[in-house]
Structure 1
Amino acid sequence: MARVFITGSTDGLGAMAARLLIDEGHRVVLHARNQTRADDAREGMPEAEAVVIGDLSGIDAMRDVARQVNALGRFDAVIHNAGIGYREPRRVETVDGLPQVFAINVLAPYVLTALIERPARLVYLSSGMHHGSRANLDDVEWTRRPWNGAQAYAESKFMDVLLALAVARRWSDVLSNALEPGWVPTKMGGPSAPDDLDQAHRTQAWLAVSDEAAARVTGRYFFHMRERACDPAARDEAMQDEFIATCERLSGVRMPA
């Protein structure tokens, strides 16, 4: 059985994936933004091995979450599930002066990837909205453009695919993949979302632990446990390298070779 760490796993798709993995007999460590949510998570999933606590909007907190995870020992897989949606009506700054949607959706998975002891598998949650978007690496801080919440979200999910593919290319000993869960009726997706909620969490759990040949791949993009083409621009290796350099500059954390 595998040992899996899941960010943003106190509710929504993260909690659903955690429950599925626990029911299958895997060891799961949850992540909560604060103590209150951690207490709720422990009550709802007492079988979880532990709950790591930290607000992933701040770089210091990202580093602390990585330290907590490493103190628990090596994991077989890390699922980067934590994220916020596209309904922010204005540019909300974090303690580091970054847009919240970029910090949580992009920089946090980058920092955790760089600092957590390397697992065998990495899974990144993207979105169908990444198609047709671009990274706009010259203005990830959104200081030169008028704020657009939907565009900022789409760009963040494009960058999540960049991260997954960059890691797959750089770390040959890790299976690194991205996926879209679909537009489903979660807190983020809203009650009118049309896709199948029962399918939304299964791909991330499958990619994290399955021995099926279809899941034991790297540098791929999935939807409902089937490979799907990502936006072709995300496979631009020069863009991937520029993205990693941007994250290094903003976080002060280098990606290990």
Structure 2
Amino acid sequence: MARILVTGSTDGIGRATAARLLDQGHDVVVHARTPARLSAVRDLIERGAGGVVGDLGRLPEVRELVAQANALGRFDAVIHNAGTMDRAMVLPVNVVAPYVLTAQMERPDRLIYLSSGLHRSGRPGLAGIDWRGNRATDSYSDSKLFVTTLMAAVARLWPDVLAHAVDPGWVPTRMGGRSAPDDLSLADLTQVWLATTDDPAALVSGRYWFHQQSRPPHPAVEDASFQDELLASLAAYTGVALAGG
């Protein structure tokens, strides 16, 4: 049985991920943006899931979320599922929050970051970036390129941790829209597998996955110079450095 935190788990893919992990007998902690939103996962909490709360778009609340998570003890895996397509908030929620959680939570054995096939159209440039989200400087695609690059940086710098990025497909969730063409029932399978399996294919860090198949990411993802530039920019904004080794 593994202890696993799933961010953004009150609906959509995150909720499905948490539910499947509970079905498999794992010790799951769900995350909601506000205390009121925890009511959406009351059934999971009644089945034994723990709960943490914090708005990932607000840096002070992300820091508080770190404290809540660390107070629960070390996790075996963290699935950074939470995301938004709100243009002004894509950087705080999709990139800054997983960076701070990664850097400040007690280091787990496995880290899984939700990416997207759209990351391939992201721009590998940080000039003029506004991590605060006060103005819309970057797109959803950019944010997914950045978080996938964060995954690769973690895999390079932390050899004792398995880090992966997952494209869950374009599925009919609240964020994806009802007309999304991919199968929602498959959207959480890869994350669950990566967080729990001993399959040798999943024990090689730094990979980008789609439906349990490893695929090549945007070339910038594996560029160590771009990884370091991204980490330096995030550290300068947050005041939190990602420790090496």
* TM-score, normalisation: structure 1: 0.90
> Which runs of at least 4 in structure 1 moved beyond 3 Å after TM superposition?
none
Q: Is the 8 A contact 1:126 1:157 kept in 2?
A: yes
Q: Is the 8 A contact 2:91 2:131 kept in 1?
A: no
Percentage of matched positions with identical amino acids:
50
- 1:202 correspondence with 2:211: no
Tell me the distance in 2 between the aligned counterparts of 1:48 and 1:237.
41
Tell me the distance in 1 between the aligned counterparts of 2:210 and 2:46.
30
Alpha carbons of structure 1 residues 109 and 221: separation in structure 2 relative to 1, 3 Å? same
Structure 1 residues not aligned, in runs of 5+ = 93-99
Structure 2 residues not aligned, in runs of 5+ = none
2:208 to 217, 221, 226: 221
Tell me the distance in 1 between the aligned counterparts of 2:76 and 2:44.
24
For residue 112 of structure 2, what is the aligned residue in structure 1? Answer: 123
Summarize the alignment of residues 230-245 of structure 1 with structure 2, pairs less than 5 Å apart: 230-245=217-232
Q: Is the 8 A contact 1:54 1:65 kept in 2?
A: yes
For residue 166 of structure 1, what is the aligned residue in structure 2? Answer: 153
Q: Report how many residues are paired.
A: 242
- 1:139 correspondence with 2:139: no
Deviation at 1:39, TM superposition (A): 2.5
SS of aligned partner of 1:247: helix
Aligned residue type for 2:146: M
For residue 157 of structure 1, what is the aligned residue in structure 2? Answer: 144
Deviation at 1:138, TM superposition (A): 1.2
Deviation at 1:135, TM superposition (A): 3.1
Q: Is the 8 A contact 1:135 1:156 kept in 2?
A: no
- 1:187 correspondence with 2:174: yes
Deviation at 1:177, TM superposition (A): 0.6
Tell me the distance in 1 between the aligned counterparts of 2:55 and 2:213.
32
Summarize the alignment of residues 67-82 of structure 1 with structure 2, pairs less than 5 Å apart: 67-82=67-82
Tell me the distance in 2 between the aligned counterparts of 1:243 and 1:12.
29
Deviation at 1:211, TM superposition (A): 1.2
The CA RMSD measured in Å over matched residues stands at 1.6
Tell me the distance in 2 between the aligned counterparts of 1:48 and 1:154.
36
